Structure 1
């Protein structure tokens, strides 16, 4: 029942044109309801970790579709399928290696975090607000190693959480 309520709250907030803050609260509530054991990491914390040359750089995993990833992603991120059962690209990582997973808003990536926790990874985090929040805060995203000012909006509803100027146009979605 809690999951259904959280999903409905999020859908209503998006469709009703509620404030961005209220809609993000609904999104965060939905993620927490469906993935209560997943630990979130803020964009500020990730930015600090990436800037700190004295600590290990976390492995960044992008849990979006190939088309979304092609428009832009965080520097150095590896794309993974959010529906995968296993992640062989991570087989050589120590179970305590820091891993941060993101998607558009944090829902798909929470599922990947949960799967990785089940596989024994102990320092795996879901990026709160994911790439939408990261980009909305003016942090860099990349395509082919170059900074860009576009993010795939996922769809018309979820794309409302992305700053208008960052929303990739249909022509850039097929890059």
Structure 2
């Protein structure tokens, strides 16, 4: 009986380890049809991209990347993006909290013919975890990060977690 519990404990431990990396979580939830760009790559001065925030407006107001355009998720309006970004070869980076919702929005852009669309690996959480600046609704630098949910917030290692 003790061997059963030991085996069972090891099995549960292995299962939980498979979720210990952000890359594993993204593989679980994403189809990976959209290439990733890292926070470091996006932060490079030579990377000139239009940045789209696919989180909800309450999340965006608390924290967002500088110059990001809020497009939302539940109320995403493809027509609005088409009016804003007419050149379909423009470098576009979409982000959310960790990179799940942003993949869905990026896929819609790809279907519409946008050719240079990337998903920010780890989203705004990885951006902040790497020490890059985050801005609030007044475009002031902030340590507050909308953490989306208790479950996903474990991936945010820096900053102050804010929930609605």
Instruction: Give TM-score scaled by structure 1 length.
Output: 0.76
1:23 to 21, 24, 30: 21
Native 8 Å contact 1:35 1:114 kept in 2: no
CA distance in 2, matches of 1:75, 1:90: 21
Cα shift at 1:90:
3.1
Q: How does 1:25-40 map to 2 (within 5 A)?
A: 25-31=23-29, 34-40=30-36
Kindly name which structure, 1 or 2, has the bigger radius of gyration based on alpha carbons. 2
Query: What per-residue deviation string (whole Å, max 9, x for no partner) do you get for residues 108-129 of structure 1?
Result: 0000010000000000100000
Structure 1 residue 73 corresponds to structure 2 residue 73: no
User: Which residue does 1:151 correspond to in 2?
Assistant: 145
RMSD of Structure 2 on Structure 1 (CA) = 2.4
Q: Secondary structure in 2 aligned to 1:126?
A: strand
Task: For structure 2, list consecutive stretches of 5 or more residues without a partner in the other structure.
Answer: 1-11
Instruction: Give TM-score scaled by structure 2 length.
Output: 0.81
Change (3 A) 1:165 1:85: closer
**Matched residue pairs, number?**
149
Q: Secondary structure in 1 aligned to 2:42?
A: helix
1:125 to 118, 137, 140: 118
CA distance in 2, matches of 1:87, 1:63: 15
Native 8 Å contact 1:135 1:166 kept in 2: no
CA distance in 2, matches of 1:68, 1:156: 14
Cα shift at 1:89:
3.4
User: Which residue does 2:51 correspond to in 1?
Assistant: 60
Cα shift at 1:93:
2.3
Q: Secondary structure in 2 aligned to 1:101?
A: strand
Q: Where in structure 1 do 4 or more consecutive aligned residues deviate above 6 Å?
A: none
Structure 1 residue 140 corresponds to structure 2 residue 133: yes
After alignment, is 104-113 or 74-83 more displaced? 74-83
